[in-house]
């Protein structure tokens, strides 16, 4: 089988935020690809740069503080950082959809959900208001909202959390985009509704043939829904590759630590849950070298001032080449 064509290529992405103390780098040289029709998961602890990476792609960083300061973002072969603003607005929403993690903040509380769906359609598609309304009802039905003809005239507060998230998904899919960015789409939902939403995204992806970036801190979601995974720590990618390969044989010490922290049904009663020692350093104090070694206070090697190279282990498996973290993998193997 030939190599899949990438719909999105992110190369050396750098995103910074302006503060009173100067510029702070939240995303530091992130690179990954999204093949057509595949789901790529981005996973890591809170504050690692997952959401900032996704919002950098669609230019939804808080302004004027947040700025993409370097790197390239190729969507369907074009560097969208160089696309004029008016044209980029047509790409975002039309060709790239976003599912936000909190539907109550993603939806306008004073407008009916039908109007909000119609706004997306009228902005990106040449439809009359009546056609847009009919299309809105059709999309609500597709995402599993009962009685869409009635729900289209309701306000967000009249719907349950799961139904509101389905509306957000409907808005993201309204224009049949080629790429969906799902930014922790199940965070605010209970477990049973989470499963329903993930199944919905998966079935719609197969039906529409779109690619998905799944942002999450939940490794279970990654294992269930993704083809490849990008593991982030402190603004950087420490490992990326096929989900099965990385879950079976993780190379970087941080990836292994994340996987060990997953509770197991086979664990003995009253056994202690594994945790990752230490805390993530303040963004003001990030070292240039291995930032996981900084957390673990490993000072046996002078790695604080030299950024580890990002090396290829196999066709699609890449890892940050920290001699300390990867040496431990060799020992375990």
Q: For 210, what's the count of Cα atoms within 13 Å in the CB-facing half-sphere?
A: 26
86-99 confidence digits (pLDDT tens):
899 889 989 999 99
Nearest to 182 by CA among 193, 198, 206, 159: 198
- Model pLDDT, residue 301: 52
As a whole number of angstroms, the distance between CA 45 and CA 157 comes to 31
Q: Tokens for 153? A: 């005239």
Percentage with pLDDT > 90 across the chain: 69
Tell me, yes or no, whether 134 lies in a domain: no
Tell me, yes or no, whether 185 lies in a domain: yes
Tell me, yes or no, whether 119 lies in a domain: no
- Model pLDDT, residue 256: 94
Tell me, yes or no, whether 214 lies in a domain: yes
Tell me, yes or no, whether 243 lies in a domain: yes
Location of structure tokens 């909000």: 116
Tell me, yes or no, whether 25 lies in a domain: yes
CATH code where residue 314 lies:
3.40.50.300
Tell me, yes or no, whether 73 lies in a domain: yes
- Model pLDDT, residue 181: 97
Peptide bond just before 192 cis, omega within 30 deg: no
- Model pLDDT, residue 332: 41
Sheet holding 228-233, edge to edge: 96-99, 179-183, 211-216, 39-43, 228-233, 236-242, 318-320, 310-312
Tell me, yes or no, whether 84 lies in a domain: yes
Residue 267: pLDDT above 80?
Answer: no
268-280 confidence digits (pLDDT tens):
777 788 889 989 9
Domain count, the chain: 1
Nearest to 177 by CA among 54, 77, 50, 37: 37
What residue numbers bound the domain in which 38 lies? 6-95+177-320
Residue 37: pLDDT above 80?
Answer: yes
CA distances from 20 to 23, 214, 235, 283, 325 (A): 8, 33, 20, 14, 35
Location of structure tokens 């950024």: 307
Find all residues with CB under 8 Å of 224, minimum gap 6, and list them.
198
Residue 107: pLDDT above 80?
Answer: yes
- Model pLDDT, residue 3: 55
310 bridge partner residues: 320
Label residue 304 by pLDDT band (50, 70, 90): low
User: The whole model's pTM is what?
Assistant: 0.91
- Model pLDDT, residue 1: 37
Longest dimension (CA), the chain: 69
Least-confidence region, from 111-120, 129-138, 190-199, 240-249: 190-199
- Model pLDDT, residue 331: 43
Evaluate whether 42 touches 54 at the Cβ level (below 8 Å): yes
Top-confidence residue, 329 or 273: 273
Label residue 186 by pLDDT band (50, 70, 90): confident
C-alpha 237: how far from chain center? 13
């Amino acid at each position: 089988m030939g190599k899949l064509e990438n719909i999105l290529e992110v190369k050396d992405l750098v995103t910074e935020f302006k503060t009173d103390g100067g510029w702070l780098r939240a995303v530091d040289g992130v690179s990954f690809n999204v093949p057509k029709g595949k789901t790529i998961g981005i996973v890591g602890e809170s504050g690692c740069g997952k959401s900032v990476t996704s919002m950098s792609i669609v230019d939804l960083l808080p302004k004027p503080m947040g700025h993409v300061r370097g790197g390239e973002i190729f969507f369907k072969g074009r560097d969208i950082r160089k696309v004029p603003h008016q044209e980029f607005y047509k790409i975002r929403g039309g060709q790239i959809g976003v599912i936000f993690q909190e539907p109550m903040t993603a939806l306008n509380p004073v407008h009916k959900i039908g109007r909000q769906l119609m706004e997306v359609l009228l902005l990106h598609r040449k439809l009359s208001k009546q056609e847009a309304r009919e299309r809105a009802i059709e999309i609500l039905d597709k995402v599993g909202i009962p009685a869409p003809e009635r729900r289209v005239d309701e306000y967000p507060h009249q719907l349950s959390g799961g139904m509101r998230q389905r509306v957000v998904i409907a808005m993201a899919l309204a224009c049949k985009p080629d790429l969906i960015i799902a930014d922790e789409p199940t965070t605010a939902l209970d477990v049973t509704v989470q499963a329903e939403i993930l199944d919905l995204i998966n079935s719609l992806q197969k039906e529409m043939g779109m690619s998905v970036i799944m942002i999450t801190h939940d490794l279970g979601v990654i294992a269930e829904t993704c083809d490849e995974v990008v593991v982030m720590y402190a603004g950087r990618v420490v490992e990326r590759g096929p989900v099965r390969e990385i879950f079976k044989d993780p190379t970087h010490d941080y990836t292994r630590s994340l996987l060990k922290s997953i509770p197991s049904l086979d664990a003995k009663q009253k056994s202690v849950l594994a945790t990752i020692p230490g805390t993530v350093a303040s963004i003001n104090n990030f070292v240039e070298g291995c930032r996981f070694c900084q957390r673990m206070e490993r000072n046996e090697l002078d790695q604080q001032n030299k950024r580890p190279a990002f090396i290829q282990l196999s066709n699609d498996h890449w890892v940050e080449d920290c001699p300390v973290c990867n040496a431990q993998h060799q020992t375990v193997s």
